[in-house]
């Protein structure tokens, strides 16, 4: 059992079906759930300042342990005051453990029972990431929420591979928890809340076993990992249908790395509270804006003389200019185009979370989901680089 109170607390306010509205209280502020956490891999949102993110109502920023350990280094971040002082971000932060890089950098790593040795992509140097080292780095960075180190297999992995990853994730979780509970705060830094990560691929029995192992540690929160790694939406939703009811109702539930607006709405309908994804800023840099009727591709010639704003219902700095102007910026290679679209997409995601929460608290979420499914077609041709 947890030996000390968590600095991050979840309060469930109401339900509508499986969908939940609640509050996440952290040392750096209170966040309404469901919430979308914007990805700031190296500590900064690409093309967006922390002041702009605050103005958009962004609740949580997510940093990456692997990348920050390489540049500028966790000790440098700590010497400069920790993630919050280092970045200027005043709200809550979360750091991934580096477990996703076990999947995404498969060609440059070697897995053993001890951990993962990465031949890093910058200079070929070796980064030895163990559960203990991941926790140490995350503590040194000073995030409010930290993640247990896990093994994330690809969606098409053989069952034997997924089964081995589930077993290793369980053993690494044991070590992550021990490191989290044994290491005190550094120089007055806030003690972080640790989330476990459930793995198991598309196998319901492996997911159930991983969930049972995770919840026995009685942690402040639980994440569903190993999705958005190549599977289709139907398979992802089937996994959530099986896993989410097994998670404690009094703890936050975090779906890692997902996704499009429709993905988020579907996951909220299944009881998920927290999300992160690179899509809002990545698609913005590719000239794509999210709207209720799907992604709007502003590089297309049809927008060259379009006087309309992207979306009159989503306020951001991008709402002041026309689609034609954004088309011009994108076609001429002006970075401002990607910045404005990133601002719009972040604003759209925040507004979507607010609309979902309002529908949950008013008891109309099922109608909201049905309407959203009809109006927002799933796109299969978005860029992935």
Per-residue pLDDT tens digits of the chain, which is 385 residues long = 444 578 999 999 999 999 999 999 999 999 999 999 999 999 999 999 999 999 999 999 999 999 999 999 999 999 999 999 999 999 999 999 998 998 898 889 999 999 999 998 888 888 999 999 999 999 999 999 999 999 999 989 999 999 999 999 999 999 999 999 986 544 334 479 999 999 999 999 999 999 999 999 999 999 999 999 999 999 999 999 999 999 999 999 999 999 999 999 999 999 999 999 999 999 999 999 999 999 999 999 999 999 999 999 999 999 999 999 999 999 999 999 999 999 999 999 999 999 999 999 999 999 999 999 999 875 545 554 4
CA distance 37 to 54: 12
Pair (181, 313) in one structural domain: no
CA distance 110 to 188: 36
Pair (139, 90) in one structural domain: yes
Our answer to whether residue 96 is catalytic in this structure is yes
CA nearest 41: which of 281, 261, 227?
A: 281
Q: How many CA atoms lie within 13 A of 365 on its CB side?
A: 26
Q: 16, 150, 276, 311: which is the annotated catalytic residue?
A: 276
- H helices then E strands: how many in the chain? 14, 16
Q: Per the structure, how many domains does the chain have?
A: 2
As to burial, measured by CB atoms within 10 angstroms (0-12 exposed, 13-18 middle, 19+ buried), residue 234 is exposed
In a domain, 381, yes or no: no
Residues 365-375 as b or e (16 or more Cβ within 10 Å = b) = beebbeebeee
**Of 251, 277, 303, which residue constitutes the final position of a domain?**
277
Pair (321, 178) in one structural domain: no
**Of 277, 305, 338, which residue constitutes the final position of a domain?**
277
Q: What is the pLDDT of residues 117-165, one digit of tens each?
A: 999 888 888 899 999 999 999 999 999 999 999 999 998 999 999 999 9
Residue 139, both tokens: 């503590």
Model pTM score: 0.95
Pair (87, 221) in one structural domain: yes
Q: Which domain holds residue 109?
A: 9-277
Q: What is the pLDDT of residues 172-201, one digit of tens each?
A: 999 999 999 986 544 334 479 999 999 999
**Of 262, 277, 292, which residue constitutes the final position of a domain?**
277
Q: What is the reported pLDDT for 92?
A: 97
Q: What is the reported pLDDT for 122?
A: 80
Can you give the CATH number for the domain in which 130 is found? Answer: 3.20.20.105
Pair (84, 209) in one structural domain: yes
CA distance 20 to 34: 7
Asked if 278 contacts 315 with a C-beta cutoff of 8 angstroms, the reply is: no
In a domain, 4, yes or no: no
The strand pairing partners of 29, in sequence order, are: 26
Q: 16, 96, 150, 263: which is the annotated catalytic residue?
A: 96
Our answer to whether residue 150 is catalytic in this structure is no
Residue 272, both tokens: 């998920």
């Amino acid at each position: 059992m947890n030996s000390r109170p968590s600095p991050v607390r979840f309060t469930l306010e109401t339900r509508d079906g499986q969908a939940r509205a609640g509050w996440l209280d952290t040392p750096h502020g209170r966040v309404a759930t469901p919430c979308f956490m914007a990805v700031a891999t190296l500590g900064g949102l690409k093309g967006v300042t922390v002041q702009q993110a605050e103005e958009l109502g962004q609740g949580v920023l997510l940093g990456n342990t692997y990348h920050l350990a390489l540049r500028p280094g966790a000790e440098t971040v700590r010497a400069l005051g920790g993630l919050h002082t280092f970045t200027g971000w005043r709200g809550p932060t979360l750091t991934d453990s580096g477990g996703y890089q076990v999947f995404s950098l498969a060609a440059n790593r070697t897995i053993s029972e001890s951990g993962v040795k990465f031949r890093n992509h910058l200079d070929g140097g070796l980064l030895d990431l163990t559960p203990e080292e991941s926790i140490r780095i995350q503590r040194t960075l000073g995030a409010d929420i930290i993640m247990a180190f896990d093994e994330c297999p690809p969606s098409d992995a053989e069952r034997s591979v997924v089964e081995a990853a589930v077993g290793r994730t369980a053993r690494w979780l044991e070590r992550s928890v021990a490191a989290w509970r044994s290491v005190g705060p550094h120089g007055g830094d806030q003690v972080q809340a640790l989330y476990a990560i459930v793995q198991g691929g598309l196998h319901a029995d492996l997911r159930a076993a991983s969930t049972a192992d995770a919840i026995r540690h009685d942690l402040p929160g639980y994440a569903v990992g190993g999705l958005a790694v190549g599977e289709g939406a139907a398979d992802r939703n089937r996994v959530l249908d099986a896993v989410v009811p097994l998670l404690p109702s009094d703890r936050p539930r975090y779906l890692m790395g997902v996704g499009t607006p429709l993905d988020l709405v579907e996951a909220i309908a299944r009881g998920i509270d927290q999300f992160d994804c690179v899509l809002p800023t990545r698609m913005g840099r590719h000239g794509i804006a999210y709207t209720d009727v799907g992604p709007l591709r502003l590089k297309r010639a049809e927008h060259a003389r379009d006087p309309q704003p992207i979306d009159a219902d989503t306020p951001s700095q991008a709402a002041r200019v026309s689609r034609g102007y954004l088309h011009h910026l994108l076609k001429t290679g002006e970075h401002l185009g990607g910045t404005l679209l990133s601002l719009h997409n972040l604003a759209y995601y925040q507004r979507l979370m607010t609309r979902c929460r309002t529908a949950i608290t008013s008891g109309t979420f099922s109608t909201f989901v049905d309407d959203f499914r009809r109006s927002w077609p799933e796109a299969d041709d978005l860029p992935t680089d």
